[in-house]
Structures are given as structure tokens and as C-alpha cells.
């Protein structure tokens, strides 16, 4: 169980909680990353405050801009290895619809952003699909 910075209700910074949560589960096509750095951006603030018509699952851990080290890799992962320094590309999509296949994955009906509609990097560990992991250059 690692420490996370999250919120259980929308509002100001007084709604943030530093608490222990279970480590994230990992699928065969995912990597588990120990977060070294996670930036604060406007999306994190807007998500915490709440936006009309947007249902963020609560409790929620923000943080889209993640860098860290791979600590575990699923059976289908082949591009990165344990110990690799990586950067996370936060857009999640189906990868199979006409938009994804034409390079417009942000138009995918299932498009989500890590740290916005999916728990993110204000945590010790985060699990993300391998396709969202970019090896960090030297």
C-alpha cells in the first residue's frame, strides 16, 4: 500500500487527502511505474474543482504528466523492461476504431486521460498500458 494524494469530493485544496491506498492492479499489457515526478497542470485543478456534466470517479487520484521507473511488466509487454526510466503519454483510447486507426485517437468514443477520468500519478505507483509508455531519453 503506497501513499497517494487524492480527493473524495470536489472543491479547493482543502479537499486533498494524503492517504494510503492499495497498489494498482496490472493487466498483461500494462506496466507498473514507480512515480518519480508528476507535474501539476490545469486539468488537475479543474478535475478537483469539478466540471459540469463530467463525472470523475471518486475517490480520485489526479496527475497526468508522469515520469518514473518501470517496476513490473505484464506478460505481453516487450518494449520496456524493469528498471527503465519512462515518460507516460496520458491519452487512453481503444486503438481499434476509425479515429484511433487514422491517428485521431483523441476523437475515440472511449478516450480518457490518465489522471483525469482514470487514477493518475499523484501516487507512489501507477499502472498504465505499455502503448502509453515512452522510454526516457538519456
Whether the predicted pLDDT of 92 surpasses 90: yes
Distances (CA, A) of 46 to 70, 110, 124: 29, 20, 22
Write the CATH number for 66.
3.90.180.10
User: Is residue 131 a contact partner of residue 31, using CB atoms and an 8 Å limit?
Assistant: no
Domain boundaries, position 114: 2-135
Query: What confidence tens digit (pLDDT) does each residue in 99-112 have?
Result: 999 999 999 999 99
Average pLDDT value over all residues in the chain? 92
pLDDT at 113: 94
Structural domains of the chain, count:
1
pLDDT at 3: 63
Whether the predicted pLDDT of 1 surpasses 60: no
Beta pairing partners, 128:
31
Query: What confidence tens digit (pLDDT) does each residue in 41-85 have?
Result: 899 999 899 988 888 889 999 999 999 999 999 999 999 999 999
Q: 3-state SS of the chain?
A: CEEEEEECCCCCHHHEEEEEECCCCCCCCEEEEEEEEECCCHHHHHHHHCCCCCCCCCCEECCCCEEEEEEEECCCCCCCCCCCEEEECCEECCCCCHHHHCCCHHHCCCCEEECCCECCCCECEEEEEHHHEEECCC
Whether the predicted pLDDT of 39 surpasses 90: yes
pLDDT at 4: 67
Amino acid at each position: 500500500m503506497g501513499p497517494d494524494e487524492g480527493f473524495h469530493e470536489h472543491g479547493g485544496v482543502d479537499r486533498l487527502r494524503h492517504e494510503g491506498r492499495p497498489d494498482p492492479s496490472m493487466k498483461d499489457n500494462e506496466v507498473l511505474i514507480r512515480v518519480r515526478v508528476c507535474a501539476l497542470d490545469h486539468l488537475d485543478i479543474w478535475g478537483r474543482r469539478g466540471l459540469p456534466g463530467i463525472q470523475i470517479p471518486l475517490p480520485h487520484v489526479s496527475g497526468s504528466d508522469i515520469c518514473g521507473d518501470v517496476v513490473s511488466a505484464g506478460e505481453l509487454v516487450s518494449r520496456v523492461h524493469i528498471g527503465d526510466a519512462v515518460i507516460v503519454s496520458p491519452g487512453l483510447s481503444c486503438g481499434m476504431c476509425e479515429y484511433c486507426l487514422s491517428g485521431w485517437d483523441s476523437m475515440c468514443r472511449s478516450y480518457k486521460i490518465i489522471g483525469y477520468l482514470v487514477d493518475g500519478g499523484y501516487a507512489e505507483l501507477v499502472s498504465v498500458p505499455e502503448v502509453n509508455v515512452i522510454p526516457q531519453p538519456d
